[in-house]
Amino acid sequence: MNFFRKFINSFFLLLFLGFSFLPSVSAKVDNPRTLGDLRENYNELLQEKAENDSLTEAAKAEIARKEALIKQAEADIHQAEEDMEQAEEDIRISNERIEEMKANASEVLLYLQQMKGTNAYVEYVSGATSMTDMIMRIAAIEQLSDKIYDTIGELEAEIKRNEELKIELEQKKKNLEAQAAEYQKVIEANYDKIEEYDKYALDIDTQVKAAKEQLDMYVDKCSNNIGRTDDAVVLTDCSKVPLNSGWLNPLNYGVVTSTIGYRWGSYHNALDIGGASPFEGSPVYAAAAGVVSGMIYEYSCGGNMLYIDVNVGGKEYTTYYYHLLSFNVRLGDVVTQDTVIGYVGGWSTSVQHGGYDTCTTGAHLHYGVATGYYNPRTGIVRSNVITPPGFPNSKGYSFYSRNDMWNG
């Protein structure tokens, strides 16, 4: 009896262990993706690209118009500045003439005053040959002084006009500068229509290319593995992705140098992980087993970017790794947690050090996790981004092995 009981217990133990080590190819997922989803996504992207191209051209045309207006406004500002300088010069010259006229007037008046008190004035007036001549000689002396004062008055009026012109030109310059600033705002607004706010967002052409590559990859997998490529085919039936029971760190060691969230006016959708030099070239592992669903080569912001669709505990996630020095996998590869998927970049690939990546200044891994699967059409939507399991969203957090996980 005891022997029989031991036999039964051993049998069930072996049966349990046997099932535990059987390779699992998929897990039940609500609303699983299909080839039809990928085809619909790709076609929608093509339509969006056509619409985006049209809007982009309109935005570029508006930018060109406003830039032309800014150029004209700058020319008008320059002309206004020259006119102001000329007005200031005219005021200076008029002031000098006034001072000269005042000096001359003083001398004439002094001379007349002296003449009237001497025989010279009497001799000049009495030297007239007739009464009419005498009156004309007296009037000539008076007109001479009046002319001087009239000239001074005209010069003072000219100065006043120039002062008013100067004020008018200064206001014109301010108005033109304000107008140019408004044009610049329109230009910036139209650039916002062309570029995504999230600095890591893919441009529409890259999205279309990535979606086509993803569709072709799954069509090939489904054709080879199950012999079907119709819209109803479930992608997990084609990819044979191992089921993950948990997560591992993507690096053997590292420290969080930047967290998830808004920084410098844009959204940072992952953790940045750095390490002691030399860190560039360090192997990057898959944090969870899955299928390589997206590969972006040498993107201007993000460099070599890798996306892996994974299934952990029956739930779909996308893991993504940016600023890679190079890839060690191909699109469609099924990877395990032991697979080296690429190598840390970010230093030699940065623009500052002669590379092409504008969004890095030093060696690090941009590592992120989002719920749901990778979709080139929407990229990694902010609302789907989560803190990678095993990490706090905390700058300065360090780990020293792949299974050195943070537990909260």
What is the residue extent of each domain of the chain?
60-194, 241-399
Euclidean distance between CA atoms 164 and 170, whole angstroms: 10
Quick check: 320 and 368 in contact, CB under 8 A?
yes
pLDDT of residue 14: 35
B/e letters for 127-164, b = 16+ CB within 10 Å, e = fewer, are eeeeeeeeeeeeeebeeeeeebeeebeebeebbeebee
Mean pLDDT for 49-73 is 77
* DSSP H or E stretch at residue 224: helix 204-225
Q: Is residue 1 classed exposed, middle or buried when 0-12, 13-18 and 19+ CB atoms within 10 A define those classes?
A: exposed
The single residue listed with the structure tokens 């990229």 is 379
pLDDT band at 310 (very low <50, low <70, confident <90, very high): very high
Mean pLDDT for 120-138 is 57
CA-CA-CA-CA torsion for 237, 241, 243, 248, nearest 10 degrees? -160
Locate 148 and state its tokens.
Answer: 């001087």
Mean pLDDT for 19-29 is 41
Euclidean distance between CA atoms 358 and 57, whole angstroms: 25
CA-CA-CA-CA torsion for 77, 81, 82, 87, nearest 10 degrees? 130
- pTM score, two decimals? 0.62
Quick check: 328 and 285 in contact, CB under 8 A?
no
Locate 400 and state its tokens.
Answer: 């020293």
User: Quick one: how far is CA 165 from the chain centroid?
Assistant: 43
pLDDT at 109 over 70: no
pLDDT at 218 over 90: yes
Nearest to 41 by CA among 53, 32, 51, 33: 33
The winner for highest mean pLDDT among 72-86, 149-163, 198-212, 219-233 is 219-233
Comparing 14 with 229, the larger pLDDT belongs to: 229
pLDDT band at 186 (very low <50, low <70, confident <90, very high): low
Mean pLDDT for 107-135 is 57
pLDDT band at 133 (very low <50, low <70, confident <90, very high): low
pLDDT band at 408 (very low <50, low <70, confident <90, very high): confident
pLDDT tens digits, one per residue of 92-103:
887 777 777 666
pLDDT at 126 over 60: no
Which residues 6+ apart lie within 8 Å of 293 measured at CB? 214, 217, 307, 308, 309, 318, 331, 373, 374
pLDDT of residue 134: 57
Nearest to 310 by CA among 346, 341, 267, 274: 341
Mean pLDDT for 254-270 is 87
Q: How many Cβ atoms are within 10 Å of 36's Cβ, its own excluded?
A: 13
pLDDT band at 189 (very low <50, low <70, confident <90, very high): low
pLDDT at 6 over 50: no
The winner for highest mean pLDDT among 2-6, 241-245, 276-280, 338-342 is 338-342
Pick the CATH number of 241-399 from 3.40.47.10, 2.70.70.10, 3.20.20.240, 2.60.120.370: 2.70.70.10
Handedness of CA 311, 315, 318, 321 (dihedral sign): negative
pLDDT of residue 111: 59
Give the β-pairing of 283-285 and 340-344: antiparallel
Mean pLDDT for 126-141 is 59
The torsion angles phi and psi of 252, rounded to 5 degrees, stand at -75, -25
Comparing 285 with 245, the larger pLDDT belongs to: 285
Pick the CATH number of 60-194 from 3.30.1050, 2.60.120, 2.30.30, 1.10.287: 1.10.287
pLDDT at 283 over 60: yes
pLDDT of residue 61: 80
% pLDDT > 70, the chain = 75
